[in-house]
């Protein structure tokens, strides 16, 4: 592989699971010979897979946060700024504090939650897909003394697909430990069809486990709206589910700057080559939840994608090593 001439500027947008993995590897592989810059509006990396633990009081916010500035020990410059625009033709990122040019761009901006896409959601529903929301839900659960908790999944992509299935079981354990499980009904709804097949099929096993825990399952339920006054979730064809406490995953969409800049092609994010994670834009890569991939939008997937893109870019820039294709072992 040929060495690229001159000092290169690699810019990484987003300090989530994929972004910090890519930044760490590139900082180590490139050292001080090239510039690796990570940009995020936050000062901290937030470990989002732990939000459910936060919800049930097994973690505190400070337990799942780390300062992004720690990356500067790894030859990574960290810039705290709001990303206002991306121009892949001019190879420039516009920030609220100015602009930065890049030779290579790694987009790792995740997905944004958009509760307003479901009428009534913002007024009625709790969720644990943002730090503040998980903390509020924890307080609500602490004071909940009985009734029906409805856990559900709307249409569209969302971060961490296994999480709502885990959440119903965690709530079962939580209320057993509080000694009031007999006063709490837990029900679960999903747009997915009822599982069928052999008992060792993971989806069939999850269904059986939920029922063993006395958690009623509602399949093929497609949410249209929530009525905060009547405390109902309204589905297609007139179906309704009632609740005393509603815990529902909010709709997700690509980050607004990706939509505004034209990088996001679909509601699933930025189309990429499945082997290299390259986009249609020269020297622009997308990893993590914002990449439109046939894989879960999960931290483990983002980690693997960050590994591969960092390895391949370092090999291209330094001329050492060969590129490797992405081969996910967690999907």
Is the per-residue pLDDT at 79 higher than 60?
A: yes
Contact between residue 229 and residue 124 where contact means Cβ atoms under 8 Å apart: no
Question: Euclidean distance between the first and final Cα of the chain, in Å?
Answer: 31
- Over residues 185-214, mean pLDDT: 92
Rounded Cα–Cα distance for residues 53 and 160 (Å):
14
pLDDT of residue 84: 97
Indicate the DSSP class of residue 282: T
Nearest alpha carbon to residue 106 among 261, 267, 259, 291: 291
Q: Using one digit for the tens of pLDDT, what is the confidence trace for 287-317?
A: 999 999 999 999 999 999 999 999 999 999 9
pLDDT band, very low/low/confident/very high, at 329 (cuts 50, 70, 90): confident
| Dihedral of the alpha carbons of 223, 227, 228, 233, in degrees to the nearest 10 | -30
Q: Using one digit for the tens of pLDDT, what is the confidence trace for 133-172?
A: 999 999 999 999 999 999 999 888 999 988 999 999 999 9
CATH fold of the domain at 114-248:
FAD/NAD(P)-binding domain (3.50.50)
CATH 3.50.50.60 domain position(s) in the chain: 9-110+255-318, 114-248
pLDDT of residue 142: 97
pLDDT of residue 43: 97
Quickly count: other Cβ atoms within 10 Å of residue 88's Cβ: 19
Query: Cα angle vertex 71, ends 19, 306, to 5°?
Result: 25
Rounded Cα–Cα distance for residues 183 and 172 (Å):
11
CATH no. of 9-110+255-318 = 3.50.50.60
Contact between residue 172 and residue 181 where contact means Cβ atoms under 8 Å apart: yes
């Amino acid at each position: 592989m040929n060495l690229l001439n001159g000092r290169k500027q690699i810019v990484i947008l987003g300090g989530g699971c994929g972004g910090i993995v890519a930044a760490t590897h590139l900082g180590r592989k490139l050292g001080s010979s090239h510039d690796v810059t990570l940009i995020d509006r936050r000062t901290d990396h937030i470990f989002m897979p732990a939000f459910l633990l936060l919800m049930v009081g097994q973690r505190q916010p400070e337990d799942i946060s780390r300062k992004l500035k720690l990356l500067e020990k790894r030859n990574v410059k960290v810039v705290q700024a709001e990303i206002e625009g991306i121009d892949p033709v001019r190879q420039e990122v516009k920030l609220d504090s100015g602009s930065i040019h890049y030779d290579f761009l790694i987009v790792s901006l995740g997905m944004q939650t958009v509760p307003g896409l479901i009428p009534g959601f913002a007024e009625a529903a709790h969720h644990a897909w943002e730090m503040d929301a998980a903390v509020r839900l924890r307080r609500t659960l602490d004071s909940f003394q009985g009734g029906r908790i409805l856990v559900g999944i709307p249409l569209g992509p969302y971060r961490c697909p296994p999480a709502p299935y885990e959440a119903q079981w965690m709530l079962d354990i939580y209320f057993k430990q509080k000694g009031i499980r007999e006063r709490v009904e837990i029900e679960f709804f999903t747009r997915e069809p009822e599982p069928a097949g052999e008992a060792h099929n993971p989806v069939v096993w999850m269904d059986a486990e939920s029922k063993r825990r006395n958690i009623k399952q509602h399949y093929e339920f497609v949410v249209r709206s929530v009525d905060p006054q009547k405390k109902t979730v309204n589905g297609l064809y007139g179906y309704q589910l009632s609740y005393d406490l509603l815990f529902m995953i909010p709709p997700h969409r690509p980050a607004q700057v990706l939509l505004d800049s034209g990088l996001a092609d679909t509601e699933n994010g930025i189309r990429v080559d499945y082997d290299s994670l390259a986009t249609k834009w020269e020297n622009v890569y997308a990893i993590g939840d914002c990449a439109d991939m046939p894989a879960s939008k999960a931290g483990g997937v983002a980690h693997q994608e960050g590994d591969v893109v960092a390895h391949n870019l370092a090999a291209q820039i330094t001329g050492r090593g060969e590129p490797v294709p992405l081969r996910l072992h967690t999907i």
